[in-house]
Structure 1
Amino acid sequence: MSYRDILVFLDATSDTPVRLELAVTLARQHGARLLGVDVSTPSAFDGQWKDSAAGLQDLFLSQLDRAGLNGEFRIADRDTGAWKALYAHFADLVIATQRHETNADLVLPAVPEEVLLSAGVPVLILPPGWRPRPVGKTIVLAWNASREATRAAHDALPLLSRAEKVVLFEFAPQADRLDSAPRLMADHLRRHGVEVESFTWPDAGDSSPVDALFACLDQEDADLIVSGAFGHSPMAEALLGGVSRDLIRNVSMPILMSH
C-alpha cells in the first residue's frame, strides 16, 4: 500500500526547504508523483522574502530533477485563499508546516487548518523550525474509537505498514464488557500487516489526554503521531476541537491528522 500522489505546500519561509526534503523522501519511498503548490501571499513578494518567494518554482523543480521524480508545480489562487484553490483534494497526502506568528502573513490563511478540516485527505504537519530526521520509524497512533481516529488510522496505513514500531495509545479507554476497542483495532491493523503494541493511560484526574500522549511519545521515542482531527465549521472562531487544537499547536514532532 502506497501514496500515489503527494502534495507539499511551498512558501517563502525558512521551513520550506526541509518540508520539501521530507516530501521528496516520502515520494521516493512510495513511488509517488509529487505536486508542489505555492501558497505564498502577495505580501511575500515584498521586502526580505521576495527572492525566496520568486524562487519557489526553481527550488521545487531542481529537487524534483535531482531525485528523479515525476511531479508538477502549481500556484494557489492568491485572491481567494480558499482551501478549494489549493489542489489538496487531488492528493493522497498533504505535507504542510504549522503556522507561526512571525511569518503567518507570508502563507495563505487556509494552511494548514482549513485544509485539514475541509479537503478530505490526511495532512502531515511539521512544527515550525523542524529539522530533517527520520519520520515514521516509530509511530504512535492516538486512538479513541471515534470516526476521526478511525479515518486517521486508515489514511496512515501506507506509513504504518512501513514502520518499525507502532504503538496504539488510548487515554482512559472504556471498560467494554465484551470486546476492547483497542484490541479490536490492533487485530484489524494486523490484517494489514501492521504489528501493534498497546499503551493505555488511566484517567486519574492528574493528566490531560495531550499530556498523557506526550508522555507516551517520550517513553516510546516516537518520531510521528497519527491522530484524528476534531473540528467545527471553518467559519467558527476555533477551527479545531480542544484536544486537537492543543496537539497541533504545541507538538514538537510531525503529526499526521485526518478529519
Structure 2
Amino acid sequence: MSWTSLIVYVDDEADNPARLIEACALARAYGARLIGVSGCAPETPVADAYGAGILLGEVMAAQQARNETTLKSAQQRFRTAVEAAGVEGDWRGDVGDPTALTLRHLRAADAALVGRDAGGISAWRAPHPADLAMRAGRPVVVLPPNPVR
C-alpha cells in the first residue's frame, strides 16, 4: 500500500501531541504530504428568549472569536510538529462541524488519523471516529491516547 497524502485531525485534547508525532512519522515513512485539519462548530447558546435574548448576538460573536483563536492555536501546533519532523504539510481549518469538515477534506487524502471518541470532549470540537469510518470511503486510523511503538 502506498500513501501520498494523510490527514491528521488537530485538536487541543491531551492525546493530540502523540497523534501529531505518529502522523508525522507515518508521513515521513511513506514520503506523504500531511494535511492538518481542525474544526469547531459554534455551540448553540442556551438563552432565555425573554430575558437574555438581547445578548444572544454578543454571545455568538464571543463564540466565533473563541473558535477562531482555537483554530489558530491548532494551526500553530500542526506547523510546529511538521517543521520539527521535516515533512511537507498543508493546513485546513474552519469553523464548522468537525466530522463534516474532515470528510470534505478527506477527499484529498488517502487516509485519516484521528483520536478516539473521548467521552468528555464536545461534539462541537472533534469528529466522531465511527461516523468517519462509515462515511469516509477511505481508511480511518483511530489512534489511542498513548500509542506504543
Give CA-to-partner distance per residue, 1:198-256, whole Å, 9 cap, x none: xxxxxxxxxxxxxxxxxxxxxxxxxxxxxxxxxxxxxxxxxxxxxxxxxxxxxxxxxxx
Q: State how far apart, in whole Å, the 2-side matches of 1:16 and 1:2 are.
A: 25
Match of 2:135 in 1: 118
Q: State how far apart, in whole Å, the 1-side matches of 2:140 and 2:98 are.
A: 21
Structure 1 residue ranges (4+ consecutive) displaced by more than 4 angstroms after TM superposition = 49-53
Q: State how far apart, in whole Å, the 2-side matches of 1:83 and 1:37 are.
A: 8
Higher relative contact order (CA 8 A, sep 6+): 2
Match of 2:38 in 1: 38
Tell me: CA distance 1:86–1:39, structure 2 relative to 1, closer, same or farther (3 Å). farther
Structure 2 residue 29 is the aligned partner of structure 1 residue 29: yes
CA contact (8 A) 1:9 1:96 kept: yes
Deviation at 1:111, TM superposition (A): 2.6
CA contact (8 A) 2:71 2:94 kept: no
Which of 72, 80, 103 is the matching residue for 1:62? 80
Tell me: CA distance 1:103–1:78, structure 2 relative to 1, closer, same or farther (3 Å). same
Match of 1:131 in 2: 146
Deviation at 1:53, TM superposition (A): 4.9
Structure 2 length-normalised TM? 0.72
Structure 2 gap segments, 5+ residues each? 44-61
Give CA-to-partner distance per residue, 1:3-35, whole Å, 9 cap, x none: 111110111212211111110011111111000
Structure 1 length-normalised TM? 0.44
Structure 2 residue 116 is the aligned partner of structure 1 residue 101: no
Tell me: CA distance 1:23–1:80, structure 2 relative to 1, closer, same or farther (3 Å). closer
Tell me: CA distance 1:79–1:63, structure 2 relative to 1, closer, same or farther (3 Å). closer
Query: Identical aligned pairs, as a percentage?
Result: 29
Q: State how far apart, in whole Å, the 1-side matches of 2:128 and 2:36 are.
A: 14
Higher helix proportion (structure 1 or 2):
2
Aligned residue identity for 1:70: E
Tell me: CA distance 1:52–1:17, structure 2 relative to 1, closer, same or farther (3 Å). farther
Deviation at 1:112, TM superposition (A): 1.6
Structure 1 gap segments, 5+ residues each? 135-259
Tell me: CA distance 1:42–1:12, structure 2 relative to 1, closer, same or farther (3 Å). farther
The root-mean-square deviation of aligned C-alpha atoms, in Å, is 2.7
